A and B are shown apart, each in its own frame.
Chain A
């Protein structure tokens, strides 16, 4: 029976101990357990990171304190944290949505880049002349960013649906293609004076920031939070509604649990695959649009420090729950921001890595329970 766990070895190894540790298959998973293990895993990860910092001669408490202060310590840094969280919320939602259907879209990075490119095309081609009011330009950029991301996401979707091609490989490879595509445009047609970046967008193509209202409310000055955050929050609500309150979401969850049962229920699995990939790509594309229009204000090569990859961790921590994605994205936004503040800046990356490993390890706790058993003679 496969439920048997190789539990014998530790028992045999530690013959001298009066007790032994065994793994037992868990058949009943209480509802609270997934949340508890996630929190526990993050706590363990922080402890481990603290240990590493301490061994390396640092003062973990001071460092964590510094991370907290430099990401949540004041209105200004909190705003910066939220700016970093914005693309993570959108790409995290993109991953969570696809993962719900067990479509392993690890191409959010590429879809993000294509979204950024599509939005930039509106002002750089230009589709609309400079001076077109924001009320026209911004929605057009949103639509173009989402469309570009959706089309790019649909490629692995179609390949998977029609030919059964493994989407992991395809999405992974397409990330490189997207990066080269951006490089081509910023080196070539859109290069400004031979530099590897485009000209700056006209102000009508900038997403409004809180600081824009500083002349009315002085306290807002310097706050860089832009409209993209609202996109993220609205998207979280919409994805939640989609998954748990809509027919399509029901189909997605059905396929995610049992593709054969879904087919039996009359769900068009191939079509849903393409649609979900496109929706996932559109979310990531919107993230790219929000980043170029809200933060960078031009297209250049380095617009993403790997948001699309961090998004995988974010979705994972959130247990694929849309609101969880928002919380996890803000936490990771803080870590990214802290990376700027802390020397060496590898520390937050290390913490991220340790968190991911703890999370994956903690999955085992959902399926097995650990028992310390007294040895009987």
Chain B
């Protein structure tokens, strides 16, 4: 039953029966109606995108389908049969598998062990090699390149995602639910994923695909369903008939204009200066090999690069979360490299970290407690060594309103927030700390289009207010829209530095993947290519 698909293969007349039918799904949480009478159809052999603002109820709906949550009302049919899943285990037995926004792999185990985890076979781990081959074979057939013997902690996020997908395929999933799969992927990895998904649906599988990236929705999905505040606002529209702007309108109920108005570039004194900084990755391999950068007040420096080329480590050395093995990092004239994180915080370095559930928030503490993480040492929140609970509540409520964090109250535990709202919480906290230097890693990951526009405006407001910003992103469009200068990072080195206005996308793209720029393509004074 394991590798062989349980669900019947679609025959021509069975194709008329939808793979999944949701009717009138209602799911309430204390203080919110996450799903309010939702209908949804997934046809056999299609890729169906699910769109909606942060907190619209997309993840909840799919968790209901996957058996993780039980609906308060409504019915679910899979391939025409009414089902009542009580756990994801039931769902997978019916051929339905979900890959969550946050993965659930065991880091110290190998890929194969993770794939086999929880299965009845093998009883004793005698012949893992045989299973390694089985997994490798499955991976090959679906174009999911990953080494079955590698340990999960050694894998990139993109590879980990492939393992999650392999887990589902190995259990015979014919209906795959992917919750924001591309949020963590580099463009190239996303393209690989799309190729895999297309091959799967061509073979008769069906895919639900949650995303905030309107462009890719048009690219990969056959149809799209849009949700807003727990309800469906557009059901099963063919993507051929839509445009990104039209989708955005359906999502937020109004026109979304990302009119980025930037004040003229008026750089002030140097705020951040990195000199020949070197650092190692978690695995003890060189991650930064002599990075030198300067960011001035009132300037946004974008760091472009494919994930895993030292960006995470770069953000961490600047905020004291990782040791540097060489070089110096100076903020406002004071060294912060190899100092306690407190040093950077004291110099008003804000940090929007890459890992929002592991580093950026404490999941079991309340929204209020999470919002004061950077300000609990100062008035008004702190009064000497005590914490003023009234001030905390006022501060938290103010941020909740100003940044539209959807949560029933500031006493709600952070882990109950939707992915995008968690990101808003982090941004609200970091921006409210009125930073001198903002180190933002993928600040708009997982945000809906409306929220992205808001964050972009906030970053530009800060720039206008004289803050220095280091924007680390894999999204080249975002960098080009916001940054004054663009640095390209590759294998731990800055391989190019350009004026954003004069930057050439093709050249940057080439540098990001290890190619070299021709001197002509690196124009201007600031655009000297640093070897």
Residues of A participating in the B interface, judged by any CB pair closer than 8 Å = 1-5, 7-8, 22, 24-25, 27-28, 241, 245-250, 253-254, 257-258, 260-266, 268, 371, 373
The CB with the most chain A CB atoms within 10 A, among B344, B351, B373, is that of B373
B377 CB within 8 Å of chain A? yes
B346 — which chain A residues lie within 8 A by C-beta?
Answer: 266
Asked whether, in the complex, the Cβ of A263 is within 8 Å of the Cβ of B341, the reply is yes
Tell me the residues in window 72-87 of chain B with beta carbons closer than 8 Å to chain A beta carbons. 86-87
Beyond A4-B118, A22-B86, A254-B365, whether A246 also contacts B358 by CB under 8 A is: no
State which of B98, B361, B385 has its C-beta within 8 Å of the C-beta of A246.
Answer: B385
14 contacts between A and B (CB under 8 A): A1-B98, A2-B118, A7-B87, A254-B373, A258-B361, A260-B358, A261-B360, A261-B362, A264-B321, A264-B360, A266-B341, A266-B342, A268-B340, A268-B342
- B146 to chain A minimum Cβ distance, whole angstroms, is 19
- B107 to chain A minimum Cβ distance, whole angstroms, is 13
A22 — which chain B residues lie within 8 A by C-beta?
Answer: 86
B364 — which chain A residues lie within 8 A by C-beta?
Answer: 257-258
Asked whether, in the complex, the Cβ of B362 is within 8 Å of the Cβ of A5, the reply is no
Asked whether, in the complex, the Cβ of A254 is within 8 Å of the Cβ of B387, the reply is no
B360 — which chain A residues lie within 8 A by C-beta?
Answer: 261, 264
Asked whether, in the complex, the Cβ of B359 is within 8 Å of the Cβ of A1, the reply is no
In the assembly, what is the distance between CA of A290 and CA of B86, in Å?
A: 54
- B208 to chain A minimum Cβ distance, whole angstroms, is 16
Asked whether, in the complex, the Cβ of B118 is within 8 Å of the Cβ of A248, the reply is no
B89 CB within 8 Å of chain A? yes
Contact with A along B221-257 (1 / 0, CB 8 A): 0000000000000000000000000000000000000
Asked whether, in the complex, the Cβ of A27 is within 8 Å of the Cβ of B69, the reply is yes
Asked whether, in the complex, the Cβ of B387 is within 8 Å of the Cβ of A245, the reply is yes
Asked whether, in the complex, the Cβ of A247 is within 8 Å of the Cβ of B385, the reply is yes
B68 CB within 8 Å of chain A? yes
Asked whether, in the complex, the Cβ of A247 is within 8 Å of the Cβ of B68, the reply is no
In the assembly, what is the distance between CA of A247 and CA of B374, in Å?
A: 12
Asked whether, in the complex, the Cβ of B361 is within 8 Å of the Cβ of A247, the reply is no
- A256 to chain B minimum Cβ distance, whole angstroms, is 9
- B229 to chain A minimum Cβ distance, whole angstroms, is 20
Asked whether, in the complex, the Cβ of A246 is within 8 Å of the Cβ of B104, the reply is no
A1 — which chain B residues lie within 8 A by C-beta?
Answer: 68, 88-89, 92, 98, 100, 104
Asked whether, in the complex, the Cβ of A260 is within 8 Å of the Cβ of B359, the reply is yes
In the assembly, what is the distance between CA of A263 and CA of B69, in Å?
A: 33
User: 9 closest A-B pairs (Cβ-Cβ)?
Assistant: A4-B89, A266-B342, A257-B362, A265-B373, A266-B345, A258-B362, A1-B88, A261-B362, A266-B341
In the assembly, what is the distance between CA of A263 and CA of B360, in Å?
A: 10
- B26 to chain A minimum Cβ distance, whole angstroms, is 15
B363 CB within 8 Å of chain A? yes
B30 CB within 8 Å of chain A? yes
B385 — which chain A residues lie within 8 A by C-beta?
Answer: 246-248
- A161 to chain B minimum Cβ distance, whole angstroms, is 14
B342 — which chain A residues lie within 8 A by C-beta?
Answer: 266, 268
Asked whether, in the complex, the Cβ of B386 is within 8 Å of the Cβ of A246, the reply is yes
Asked whether, in the complex, the Cβ of B373 is within 8 Å of the Cβ of A261, the reply is yes
The CB with the most chain B CB atoms within 10 A, among A25, A249, A261, is that of A261
State which of B88, B89, B345, B351 has its C-beta within 8 Å of the C-beta of A8.
Answer: B89
Main SS at interface, chain B? loop
A2 — which chain B residues lie within 8 A by C-beta?
Answer: 104, 117-118
Beyond A7-B86, A245-B389, whether A254 also contacts B340 by CB under 8 A is: no
Residues of B participating in the A interface, judged by any CB pair closer than 8 Å = 29-30, 68-69, 86-89, 92, 98, 100, 104, 117-118, 319, 321, 340-342, 344-346, 351, 353, 358-365, 369, 372-374, 376-377, 382, 385-387, 389
Asked whether, in the complex, the Cβ of A5 is within 8 Å of the Cβ of B386, the reply is no
In the assembly, what is the distance between CA of A265 and CA of B387, in Å?
A: 16
Beyond A261-B360, A263-B341, A266-B340, whether A3 also contacts B68 by CB under 8 A is: yes
Given A2-B104, A246-B386, 17 other A-B residues pairs in contact with their CB atoms under 8 A = A1-B88, A1-B98, A1-B100, A4-B89, A5-B89, A8-B89, A27-B69, A245-B386, A247-B387, A253-B369, A257-B364, A257-B365, A258-B358, A258-B362, A263-B321, A265-B373, A266-B340
A24 — which chain B residues lie within 8 A by C-beta?
Answer: 86-87
B88 — which chain A residues lie within 8 A by C-beta?
Answer: 1, 3-4
Asked whether, in the complex, the Cβ of A373 is within 8 Å of the Cβ of B86, the reply is yes
Asked whether, in the complex, the Cβ of B340 is within 8 Å of the Cβ of A257, the reply is no
- Nearest A residue to B29 by beta-carbon distance? A28
Asked whether, in the complex, the Cβ of B359 is within 8 Å of the Cβ of A261, the reply is yes
A268 — which chain B residues lie within 8 A by C-beta?
Answer: 340, 342
- Nearest A residue to B351 by beta-carbon distance? A264
In the assembly, what is the distance between CA of A249 and CA of B92, in Å?
A: 44
B340 — which chain A residues lie within 8 A by C-beta?
Answer: 266, 268
B351 — which chain A residues lie within 8 A by C-beta?
Answer: 264
- Nearest B residue to A258 by beta-carbon distance? B362
In the assembly, what is the distance between CA of A360 and CA of B473, in Å?
A: 46
- B160 to chain A minimum Cβ distance, whole angstroms, is 14
Asked whether, in the complex, the Cβ of A261 is within 8 Å of the Cβ of B104, the reply is no
A263 — which chain B residues lie within 8 A by C-beta?
Answer: 321, 341
A241 — which chain B residues lie within 8 A by C-beta?
Answer: 386
State which of B69, B382, B389 has its C-beta within 8 Å of the C-beta of A247.
Answer: B382
In the assembly, what is the distance between CA of A265 and CA of B377, in Å?
A: 10
- Nearest B residue to A8 by beta-carbon distance? B89
In the assembly, what is the distance between CA of A373 and CA of B84, in Å?
A: 11
- B495 to chain A minimum Cβ distance, whole angstroms, is 29
Asked whether, in the complex, the Cβ of A258 is within 8 Å of the Cβ of B341, the reply is no
State which of A3, A27, A249, A264 has its C-beta within 8 Å of the C-beta of B341.
Answer: A264
B319 — which chain A residues lie within 8 A by C-beta?
Answer: 264
- B362 to chain A minimum Cβ distance, whole angstroms, is 4
A27 — which chain B residues lie within 8 A by C-beta?
Answer: 68-69
State which of A3, A4, A254, A373 has its C-beta within 8 Å of the C-beta of B362.
Answer: A254
B358 — which chain A residues lie within 8 A by C-beta?
Answer: 258, 260-261
Asked whether, in the complex, the Cβ of B30 is within 8 Å of the Cβ of A258, the reply is no
B387 — which chain A residues lie within 8 A by C-beta?
Answer: 245-247, 249-250
Asked whether, in the complex, the Cβ of B363 is within 8 Å of the Cβ of A28, the reply is no
Beyond A1-B104, A247-B387, A264-B359, whether A7 also contacts B89 by CB under 8 A is: yes
In the assembly, what is the distance between CA of A8 and CA of B93, in Å?
A: 11
A262 — which chain B residues lie within 8 A by C-beta?
Answer: 362
